[in-house]
């Protein structure tokens, strides 16, 4: 592949290279995200096979998210320093063998160890974000990053593909083998389609300590908190929802996965819409609307199935309140759309205010979102084991969203 020595924006012909980079990166990130979410489906048969509690299910489902989160900061910095193409390719390459080995695991600790290695695929987000953003002018970075972030739809892809593979083969062990081959093919396609620009590494002249100094910036802390809701919440719920359908409504794995995809798919694909809205209306206004919509939906979803008695004038009357699977799916679809828009609008903040070290900042913000995605399934399971109420997961999300709204209100009120 030839290497361009001048910034993309200086030549009209380089627009084609920008779209090649965007297309290759989005495709690669979609596959990486699908693999990152694989235990959302594999965890269902493994829960029965290993006799896991809800908390243990949350741990095994969330383990890949841990390494995918912790590595986002160093990989974002390395992207600034060495370029996105080589870092992205290496990130995918190191996961191929661990993915394959999952099919031979038999003990819980083996799944956890391999899950840590598979989780490296999730860190590709902090590589692709600065890699893609630098190929576009600032006025279009929100849209470009939104398209790349649509790779989150890999969560829906794995909900469509994995159950079909399990049902057709009669065993879950076929899934890791197919996914390992898919990762190998994806890494090769990405390498031969994508391109590099040495000029994009100019922002990496800062030392590691200087790049990490942004942690002290309150803006970074705020954006990390917002992202822990819109992305961490998305990841946590995407991992939790298939088994929620199985346990709450008694659906089979294929039905549960399909209905869960009604949340995962718009939560990924419509991120490009969020990027366009952020460019047009501003990151603050877009994020503010997103948080209010999510808060309202989580309030409704939090209410558990309830029987109560009203003492009327003609005697007691019994009422039953419960959200059925269709209403639940419709509300989760709305939440998925809101979170898709919110994920893009938060990163519009980052690209607007930290263009010089976007790799480091996007890594930090992505780390916060990823850690939330790791902790939430564990907390969801713990709350169910402690209370026996399955809607406690939405109560937790309601509280986290309310914190973001309060933070936004007082922060931007002071600015105005």
CATH number at residue 226: 1.20.1250.20
The pLDDT mean for the chain works out to 84
pLDDT at 410 over 50: yes
Give the phi and the psi of residue 72 in degrees, each rounded to 5: -65, -35
In a domain, 6, yes or no: no
In a domain, 361, yes or no: yes
Most confident of 96-105, 136-145, 229-238: 96-105
CA distances from 58 to 201, 239, 335, 377, 387 (A): 39, 8, 21, 5, 16
In a domain, 205, yes or no: no
pLDDT tens string 1-12? 333 333 333 333
In a domain, 337, yes or no: yes
Q: What is the pLDDT of residue 189?
A: 94
Angle, alpha carbons 291-296-301 (nearest 5°): 120
Q: What is the pLDDT of residue 200?
A: 62
DSSP-derived letter for residue 120 is G
Of all residues in the chain, the percent with pLDDT exceeding 70 is: 90
3 state SS of 303: coil
Closest CA to 204 of 93, 86, 95, 360: 360
Q: How are beta strands 315-321 and 306-312 bridged, if at all?
A: antiparallel
Of 277 and 411, the structure prediction assigns the larger pLDDT to 277
pLDDT at 174 over 70: yes
In a domain, 203, yes or no: no
Q: Would you place residue 40 in the very low, low, confident or very high pLDDT band (cuts 50, 70, 90)?
A: confident
In a domain, 202, yes or no: no
Q: Would you place residue 359 in the very low, low, confident or very high pLDDT band (cuts 50, 70, 90)?
A: low
Poorest-confidence range of 210-214, 223-227, 257-261?
Answer: 210-214
pLDDT at 86 over 70: yes
In a domain, 308, yes or no: yes
In a domain, 35, yes or no: yes
Q: What is the pLDDT of residue 201?
A: 61
Report the C-alpha gap between 78 and 90 in whole angstroms: 12
Report the C-alpha gap between 414 and 263 in whole angstroms: 35
275: domain range? 12-194+210-415
3 state SS of 31: helix
Count of structural domains within the chain:
1
Helix (H) or strand (E) holding 243: helix 232-249
E strands present in 177-336: 306-312, 315-321
Q: Would you place residue 329 in the very low, low, confident or very high pLDDT band (cuts 50, 70, 90)?
A: very high
Q: Would you place residue 115 in the very low, low, confident or very high pLDDT band (cuts 50, 70, 90)?
A: very high
């Amino acid at each position: 592949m030839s290497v361009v020595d001048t910034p993309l924006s200086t030549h009209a012909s380089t627009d084609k290279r920008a779209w090649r980079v965007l297309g290759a990166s989005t495709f690669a990130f979609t596959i990486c995200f699908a693999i990152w979410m694989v235990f959302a489906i594999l965890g269902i048969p493994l829960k029965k096979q290993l006799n896991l509690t809800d908390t243990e299910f949350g741990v095994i489902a969330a383990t890949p998210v841990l390494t995918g989160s912790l590595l986002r900061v160093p990989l974002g910095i390395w992207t600034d320093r060495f370029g996105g193409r080589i870092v992205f390719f290496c990130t995918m390459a190191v996961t191929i063998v661990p993915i394959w080995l999952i099919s031979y695991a038999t003990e819980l600790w083996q799944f956890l160890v391999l899950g840590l290695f598979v989780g490296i695929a999730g860190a590709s987000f902090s590589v692709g974000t600065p890699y893609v953003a630098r190929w576009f002018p600032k006025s279009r970075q929100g849209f470009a990053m939104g398209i790349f972030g649509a790779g989150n739809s890999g969560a829906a892809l794995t909900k469509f593909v994995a159950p079909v593979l399990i049902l057709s083969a009669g065993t879950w062990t076929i899934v890791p083998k197919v996914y390992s081959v898919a990762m190998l093919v994806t890494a090769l396609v990405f390498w031969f389609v994508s391109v590099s620009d040495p000029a994009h590494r100019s922002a990496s002249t800062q030392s590691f300590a200087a790049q990490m100094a942004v942690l002290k910036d309150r803006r970074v802390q705020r954006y990390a908190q917002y992202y822990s809701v819109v992305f961490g919440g998305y990841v946590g719920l995407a991992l939790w929802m298939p088994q929620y359908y199985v346990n709450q409504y008694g659906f089979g794995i294929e039905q549960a996965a399909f209905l869960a995809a009604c949340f995962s798919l718009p939560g990924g694909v419509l991120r490009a819409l969020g990027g366009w809205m952020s460019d047009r209306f501003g990151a603050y206004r877009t994020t503010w609307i997103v948080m209010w919509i999510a808060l309202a939906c989580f309030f409704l979803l939090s209410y558990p199935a309830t029987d109560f008695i009203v003492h009327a004038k003609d005697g007691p009357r019994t009422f039953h309140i419960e959200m059925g699977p269709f209403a639940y799916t419709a509300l989760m679809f709305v939440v998925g759309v809101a979170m898709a828009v919110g994920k893009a609008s938060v990163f519009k903040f980052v690209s607007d205010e930290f263009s010089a070290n976007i790799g480091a900042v996007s890594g930090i913000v992505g780390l916060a979102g990823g850690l939330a995605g790791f902790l939430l399934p564990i907390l969801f399971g713990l709350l169910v084991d402690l209370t026996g109420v399955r809607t406690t997961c939405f109560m937790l999300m309601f509280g986290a969203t309310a914190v973001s709204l309060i933070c936004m209100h007082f922060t931007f009120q002071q600015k105005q």
